[in-house]
Amino acid sequence: MKLLFKQRLFSWFDSYDIYDEAGETVFTVKGRLSWGHCLEIYDRFGEHVGTVKEEVLTLLQRFALYQNGREIGEIQKKFTFFRPAFTLNCNDWSVEGDLFEWEYEVVDRQGRMIMQASKQLFNLTDTYVIDITDPQDILLSLMIVLAIDAAKCSQRD
């Protein structure tokens, strides 16, 4: 299953629209005023289904992941020199990016592909194509990409 993750051009806070392969809106993400990034995820019916919240005052960037108001885990940036990497503590998955931070892969402990995210170049806003192996992993995969994008945004600030 593929999703198109596209940041809105004019918005006070981080806002994104997530589309399926048919171009239908699957999720809407709205940034909320807080200390650090706080991104709330809404399904196509406007129901709040998840939140990605940056935990501040940490040595390496860390984001708490919430599904339906309950914390399901964290994603934390690892200290690396060349390729960006993150640990995800809720599924024993690992996340690695390429040297330019345009491509990311999420794999499980056995090395099976969970998701790939590719940043689309030459767009006015951050745009990613997310290829998810199992549709049951769609929300967690979206949360991972949101956290990575927020981490990259924080590096630029």
* 32-87 pLDDT tens trace: 876 778 999 999 999 999 999 998 776 678 899 999 999 999 998 877 777 777 88
Q: Give residue 154's pLDDT.
A: 55
Task: Kindly state the percentage of the chain with pLDDT values over 70.
Answer: 90
What value does the mean pLDDT take over residues 3-8?
83
Q: Give residue 22's pLDDT.
A: 94
Type of residue numbered 101: E
Which two three-digit tokens encode residue 24? 């239908």
Q: Give residue 42's pLDDT.
A: 97
In the structure, what pLDDT confidence band is assigned to residue 113 with cuts at 50, 70 and 90? very high
d(C-alpha 74, C-alpha 13), whole Å: 22
Q: Give residue 58's pLDDT.
A: 66
In the structure, what pLDDT confidence band is assigned to residue 156 with cuts at 50, 70 and 90? very low
* Collapsed DSSP state (helix, strand, coil) of residue 75: strand
Mean pLDDT (the chain) is 85
Phi/psi of residue 63, nearest 5 degrees? -130, 130
- What pairing do the DSSP bridges indicate for beta strands 38-43 and 25-31? antiparallel
- 108 vs 8 pLDDT, higher one: 108
